[in-house]
Amino acid sequence: MTEAVRISADLERAENRRLTALAGAAVAGMLVAGWAIFVYAPQDALQGPVQRIFYLHVASAVAAFGCFAVVLLGSVAFLWRGSLVGDRLGRAAAHVGLVFTTVTFLMGVVWAKPIWNWDPTRTWDARLTSTAALWVIYAGYLLVRRFAPPGRTAMRLAAVVGVIGFVDVPVVYFSVEWWRTLHPGPVLTASGGPAMPAPMVVAYLVTQLAVGFLCGVLVAVQYRVQARRDAAVARAVAAQLELAPAPEAR
């Protein structure tokens, strides 16, 4: 085993330790958020305990949007500068964003059921519809990657989907304003301050921080997975070119 291989193995172990520590911190953060949601926050007078879904529902929606914003940035970086880091970041964030969109979606359905006796097959609320659209768009983003010719073509085509798909995000957000339907209007950013008691706002902010951190850690882990996959391809190519293996991709 050469010196270079040993050093890169060491670096990899250190990287793994760091990611494990971050994952542990994310779990701890989610436990704190659980405490804030179920113990600290007061019971909603009208809706009862079901309202507690709100915290995770909104927080994961925001996290998903954040992920898709990262996909946008990565896609633009790739299209503009050919940045491979941007492409990998987009790949990682699309996976994670898709998970958080699913969480948002399921929580929304669970919440809506007892409150409005809301049967989504009968009432396609604008936000529900456009969140479903978002989900399909980013699933499409990953499908394009799978079905396009591997390499730069796949990156290029997926990046286009990543950019245009993001155009749909404001349509999601403003669809509530444009074609107001069943879904409640903005609660936190309503004019004249939040329409919620302060402890609820605090509980929400704690949850948002925890979910945001979890989301960031998941993206980092995914990024690492993708980077290792790319490194394997690079090694295969280098072997064919009979060049020294490329330094560990970062």
Q: What is the contact surface with another protein in residues (CB under 8 A)?
A: 79, 126, 129-130, 132-134, 136-137, 139-140, 143-144, 147-153, 156-157, 159-161, 163-165, 167-168, 171, 175, 178-179, 232-233, 236-237, 240-244
- Report the largest interatomic distance among the alpha carbons of the chain, rounded to a whole angstrom: 70
- Residue 120 or 212: the one with the smaller Cβ distance to another protein is 120
- Residue 107 or 126: the one with the smaller Cβ distance to another protein is 126
| Smallest distance from another protein to CB 178, Å | 7
Mapping DSSP to helix (H, G, I), strand (E, B) and coil, where does residue 46 land? coil
Selection from 200, 173, 170, 172 nearest residue 51 by Cα:
200
Cβ-proximal residues to 214 (8 Å cutoff; 6+ apart), any chain: 26, 29, 30, 63
| Smallest distance from another protein to CB 189, Å | 22
| Smallest distance from another protein to CB 83, Å | 14
CA distances from 109 to 37, 53, 102, 105, 238 (A): 19, 10, 11, 6, 50
- Residue 21 or 232: the one with the smaller Cβ distance to another protein is 232
139: its two tokens: 């699933």
- Residue 114 or 170: the one with the smaller Cβ distance to another protein is 170
49 in Cβ contact with 62 (< 8 Å) = no
220: its two tokens: 């980092």
19 in Cβ contact with 227 (< 8 Å) = no
| Smallest distance from another protein to CB 84, Å | 12
| Smallest distance from another protein to CB 242, Å | 6
* Helices and strands (H, E) in the chain, number of each type: 6, 0
- Residue 26 or 137: the one with the smaller Cβ distance to another protein is 137
| Smallest distance from another protein to CB 145, Å | 10
